[in-house]
């Protein structure tokens, strides 16, 4: 057994025997990655509240302005797995800093865009930079932390994911309220510049370098197959508001076929002892990875679309301003943030049970919120619903962070980037499905009777169905763990496992 030097200068055991030495600056480095991750995830939703202003100022059509949001989400999802693999093979620190620098430059370009065409182009590039940055976050956590510390670090990471997803509307509303005139929307992008520059400077000083794996060849056919498959699945969803699902439904079939070929190609590369883009043994031999990815994908189907439904209900049904609408859902973000940090400390002790309880809490909280908004007087409904929404947020804090920890905790560090990228790709696909389906269902029900409350309840009910499916998976995994003695595969077991090995 090897020993490693602790941050305090003492020696501590290294149970994995992989030469791990804790970096004295690992916690400071973590905060750099979290700030960058918060910016990239916040930009998925923060722009939505400014779309009417952008459309008016740039004289854009509804279809053009929709690409300001959907184009970012599309290129973000396309880059994740490839970026994670490049980080594993080359240098996570270098790719993270280059991507962060690009994100800052393209944010400035978005803010300065003189017309809608250049704004959309800058948003596509900004999403690509964010997609290259995101998988390095989870990979750097796995590189810098072990054991209970890794759970705590993923707790902060989960809090960042939860807060950024729920805080987008209120942050965007606040910036619009503070920035005067039609040009105020530009500050939604400019605000990234000083924060990003500071993060780059600190990252150069604090982030650890990555040892090259020695197997840096990139699987180009795999990149093309996966990219085209994800593109085919995402395109109808990101174009849903302009009839994309009806016109491009056949792309779902094409995407499924491409991903099937991609899976076959990855298994073939492993059988030939070559380096795949996404090692299939992650799903067959790494305990908890496959089911954790499924839980995360199903959860984000409901979780991501809920905020657009709330924004439509508050802003159009109750005539709230963007800021007031964002403040109405802030209790969920506060509950999620507080619980996520705590859950990172508890995941090693309670495991999947935390996810089960968290999902039950989210379902109860959002279900109770829908009921109160349906029955309470309109002038009191947001106030009455706030405590229940806070409890739902607490439940959400016990979902994202523990699930990320349990999904990635046994992934070998050499696969950390690709594994994190694949996990986030599933979450982005789930989020795209939710943000396309739930507002569409809201408008469908609204068109039938003009009842905003009824439309809200129906859309939230659909979101809860996705969360219930995620809960069913979590319960299955929890009960399976209780029936057998836990056994985690170490990195060496995964690296040497046969291609067709199955979880034992």
CB 443 within 8 A of CB 243: no
- How confident is the model at residue 8, as a pLDDT? 37
pLDDT, tens digit, 9 for 90 and up, residues 121-142: 999 999 999 989 988 888 888 8
- How confident is the model at residue 215, as a pLDDT? 52
- How confident is the model at residue 166, as a pLDDT? 64
pLDDT over 80 at 17, yes or no: no
- The DSSP secondary-structure symbol of 484 reads S
**Residue 415: in which H helix or E strand, if any?**
none
Q: How far apart are CA 130 and CA 125, in angstroms?
A: 9
Q: How far is CA 349 from CA 148, 316, 344, 346, 406, in A?
A: 9, 45, 10, 5, 12
Confidence band for 183, pLDDT divided at 50, 70 and 90 = confident
Would you call 228 exposed, middle or buried from its count of C-beta atoms within 10 A (0-12, 13-18, 19+)? middle
Stronger pLDDT, 371 or 69, i.e. the higher one: 371
CB 369 within 8 A of CB 390: no
- How confident is the model at residue 108, as a pLDDT? 95
pLDDT, tens digit, 9 for 90 and up, residues 75-126: 888 888 888 888 877 788 899 999 999 999 999 999 999 999 999 999 999 9
Stronger pLDDT, 435 or 264, i.e. the higher one: 264
Bridge partners of residue 5, in order along the sequence = 11
Q: How far apart are CA 435 and CA 23, in angstroms?
A: 40
Other beta carbons within 10 angstroms of residue 422's beta carbon come to 25
pLDDT over 80 at 413, yes or no: no
Structure tokens at 201: 């400077």
Through-space distance between the first and last CA atoms of the chain, rounded to whole angstroms: 26
Span 277-282, average pLDDT: 81
pLDDT, tens digit, 9 for 90 and up, residues 475-489: 998 888 777 654 444
Q: How far is CA 345 from CA 13, 192, 348, 457, 477, in A?
A: 20, 31, 7, 35, 20
- How confident is the model at residue 24, as a pLDDT? 83
Would you call 349 exposed, middle or buried from its count of C-beta atoms within 10 A (0-12, 13-18, 19+)? exposed
- How confident is the model at residue 124, as a pLDDT? 92
CB 334 within 8 A of CB 390: yes
Span 30-53, average pLDDT: 83
CB 44 within 8 A of CB 171: no
Q: How far apart are CA 467 and CA 427, in angstroms?
A: 13
Closest CA to 329 of 360, 301, 308, 355: 308
Q: How far apart are CA 216 and CA 318, in angstroms?
A: 55
- How confident is the model at residue 122, as a pLDDT? 94
- How confident is the model at residue 216, as a pLDDT? 55
**Coil/strand/helix, residue 38:** helix
Stronger pLDDT, 379 or 298, i.e. the higher one: 298
Confidence band for 494, pLDDT divided at 50, 70 and 90 = very low
pLDDT over 80 at 9, yes or no: no
Closest CA to 103 of 135, 127, 73, 69: 127
**Residue 209: in which H helix or E strand, if any?**
none
Span 399-416, average pLDDT: 81
Task: Say which residue the tokens 């902060």 belong to.
Answer: 156
Sign for the pseudo-dihedral over CA of 211, 215, 216, 222: negative
**Coil/strand/helix, residue 401:** helix
- How confident is the model at residue 23, as a pLDDT? 76
Q: Give the chain's radius of gyration (CA, Å).
A: 22
pLDDT, tens digit, 9 for 90 and up, residues 447-483: 777 788 888 899 899 999 989 999 999 999 888 877 7
Span 258-280, average pLDDT: 86
pLDDT over 70 at 490, yes or no: no
pLDDT, tens digit, 9 for 90 and up, residues 226-257: 888 888 887 787 776 667 777 888 988 998 99
Would you call 203 exposed, middle or buried from its count of C-beta atoms within 10 A (0-12, 13-18, 19+)? buried
Stronger pLDDT, 16 or 164, i.e. the higher one: 164
Average pLDDT in the chain = 81
Span 3-9, average pLDDT: 37
Q: How far apart are CA 239 and CA 5, in angstroms?
A: 52
Span 272-279, average pLDDT: 80
Span 322-346, average pLDDT: 81
Span 386-401, average pLDDT: 89
- The DSSP secondary-structure symbol of 315 reads I
Q: How far apart are CA 249 and CA 243, in angstroms?
A: 10
Bridge partners of residue 2, in order along the sequence = 14
Span 433-448, average pLDDT: 79
pLDDT over 70 at 304, yes or no: yes
pLDDT over 70 at 317, yes or no: yes
Stronger pLDDT, 193 or 280, i.e. the higher one: 193
Supply φ then ψ for residue 239, to 5 degrees.
-100, 20
Task: Kindly report the pTM of this predicted structure.
Answer: 0.76
Residues in the chain, overall count: 504
């Amino acid at each position: 057994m090897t020993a490693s030097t602790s941050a305090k200068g003492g020696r501590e055991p290294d149970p994995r025997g992989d030469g791990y030495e804790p970096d004295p600056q690992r916690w400071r480095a973590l905060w750099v990655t979290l700030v960058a991750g918060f910016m990239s995830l916040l930009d998925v939703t923060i722009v939505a509240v400014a779309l009417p202003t952008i459309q008016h100022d740039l004289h854009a059509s509804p279809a053009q302005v929709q690409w300001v949001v959907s184009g970012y989400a599309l290129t973000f999802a396309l880059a994740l797995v490839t970026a994670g693999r490049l980080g594993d093979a080359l240098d996570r620190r270098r790719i993270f800093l280059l991507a962060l620098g690009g994100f800052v430059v393209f944010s400035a370009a978005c803010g300065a865009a003189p017309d809608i065409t250049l704004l959309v182009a800058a948003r596509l590039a900004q999403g690509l930079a964010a997609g290259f940055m995101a998988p390095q976050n989870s990979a750097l956590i796995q590189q810098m932390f072990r054991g209970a510390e890794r759970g705590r670090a993923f707790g902060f990471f989960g809090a960042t994911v939860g807060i950024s997803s729920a805080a987008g509307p209120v942050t965007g509303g606040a910036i619009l309220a503070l920035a005067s005139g039609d040009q105020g929307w530009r500050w939604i992008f400019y605000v990234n510049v000083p924060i990003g520059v500071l993060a780059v400077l600190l990252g150069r000083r604090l982030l650890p370098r990555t040892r090259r794996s020695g197997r840096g060849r990139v699987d180009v056919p795999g990149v093309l197959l996966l990219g085209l498959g994800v593109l085919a699945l995402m395109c109808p969803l990101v174009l849903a508001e302009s009839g994309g699902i009806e016109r491009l439904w056949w792309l779902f079939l094409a995407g499924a076929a491409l991903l099937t070929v991609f899976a076959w190609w990855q298994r073939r590369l492993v059988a030939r002892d070559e380096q795949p883009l996404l090692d299939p043994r992650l799903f067959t031999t790494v305990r908890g990875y496959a089911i954790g990815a499924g839980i995360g994908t199903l959860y984000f189907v409901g979780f991501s679309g809920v905020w657009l439904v709330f924004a439509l209900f508050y802003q159009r049904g109750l005539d709230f301003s963007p800021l007031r609408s964002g403040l109405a859902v802030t209790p969920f973000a506060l509950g999620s943030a507080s619980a996520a940090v705590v859950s990172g400390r508890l995941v090693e002790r309670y495991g999947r049970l935390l996810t089960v309880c968290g999902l039950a809490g989210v379902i109860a909280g959002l279900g109770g919120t829908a009921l109160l908004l349906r029955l309470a007087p309109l002038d009191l409904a947001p106030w009455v619903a706030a405590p229940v929404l806070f409890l739902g947020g607490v439940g959400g804090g016990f979902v994202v962070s523990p699930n990320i920890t349990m999904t990635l905790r046994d992934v070998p560090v050499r696969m950390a980037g690709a594994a994190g990228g694949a996990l986030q790709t599933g979450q982005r696909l789930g989020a795209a499905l939710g943000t396309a389906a739930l507002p569409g269902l809201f408008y469908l029900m609204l068109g039938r009777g003009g009842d905003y409350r009824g439309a809200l309840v129906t859309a939230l009910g659909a979101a809860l169905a996705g969360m219930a499916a995620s809960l069913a998976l979590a319960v299955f995994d929890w009960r399976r763990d209780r029936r057998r003695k836990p056994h985690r595969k170490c990195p060496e077991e995964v690296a040497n496992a046969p291609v067709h090995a199955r979880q034992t």
